[in-house]
Amino acid sequence: MRFNIPRNNLDEMVIYIWKIVDLPYILYDDLLFNVIFEYFIFTPDEASLFIDDVLKKKLLIQEKNSLLRLSDDLNQKFLKWQKERRFEIKKNLTNYRKRNKTVRRVENNNESKFNVLLKKVIDSAALNRAVTVSDNAVEIQKINKIEGFLEAKIKGSKEESYFVIINIKEKTLLHNCHDFETRRAKTKKFCKHLIKLFLTLKKKNEEIALYFLENIIKQINNWEFSS
């Protein structure tokens, strides 16, 4: 959720404050106190000028009982934001449950050969980070079981995607994220990108995913993990 203060836009500033207030009505004195001492948005002089200005421009409406409310137009914008926010929370909650389900399935299902093998090269911290990587972040560019070759790109926080190159014949696993280069490669462990790659590959073709993973695991001491 973005809460940058839109000081140069009066309409957006009122909406911004109302997102924090989160009430249909508020007393003038309460709003004045909050924007000064609770939200730390204005100095006392600035707060009085701001509230008086938005009242004058009818962005806020003062009822006969001295309660302030949003104008009809701003209230519609606020309600739209609330609806979008509820949708975003619901989506994030769904994704969170989905990620947790994936973590539990990998960690607890010992009947799956894929899971048993994968757990040999991962830890819980990396797995929990891996499930936060978007499914769309993984792009498998080339895969050939006969040649024992896999090449993929994975979008990360950098502008350029990370690469992954696995060559079974040469027993090399190349990847260029910082965590893998500085930590994981030394101990022959997978970073979040490699875990996500294999989880994605398993969804597309479990036989192929298992083939590459099994070949890495069975002679892992002879493999070169590097960038």
Tokens of 12: 């957006």
Q: How far is CA 75 from CA 39, 61, 82, 106, 204, in A?
A: 21, 11, 10, 46, 46
Query: How many C-beta neighbours within 10 Å does residue 111 have?
Result: 7
pLDDT value at position 95?
87
The distance in angstroms from the start CA to the end CA of the chain is: 35
**Among 37, 41, 45, 38, CA closest to 14:** 41
Sign of CA dihedral 201, 138, 125, 3: negative
For the record, the structure tokens of 70 come out as 């949003």
Provide the 8-state DSSP code for 223.
P
* 227 residues of the chain, pLDDT tens digit each: 455 899 999 999 999 999 999 999 999 999 999 999 999 999 999 999 999 999 999 999 999 888 999 999 999 999 999 999 999 999 999 988 988 998 998 989 888 999 999 999 999 999 999 999 998 999 999 999 999 999 999 998 777 899 999 999 999 999 999 999 999 999 999 999 999 999 999 999 999 999 999 999 999 999 999 98
User: In DSSP terms, which residues pair with 225 in a beta bridge?
Assistant: 173
The reported pLDDT for the residue numbered 52 is: 96
The pLDDT of residue 1: 46
Tokens describing residue 71: 């104008």
Looking at residue 64, its pLDDT comes to 86
In the block, tokens 């027993």 appear at 171
Domains, the chain, ranges and CATH? 1-108 (1.10.10), 112-226 (no CATH)
**Assessment of whether the complete model's pTM goes beyond 0.95:** no
Query: In angstroms, rounded to a whole number, what is the distance separating the alpha carbons of residues 205 and 16?
Result: 48
Alpha-carbon torsion, ordered 16, 17, 19, 24, to 10 deg: -130
CA gap 197, 188 in Å, rounded: 16
What was the pLDDT predicted at 109?
Answer: 83
Residue 8 to residue 115: CA distance in whole angstroms:
53
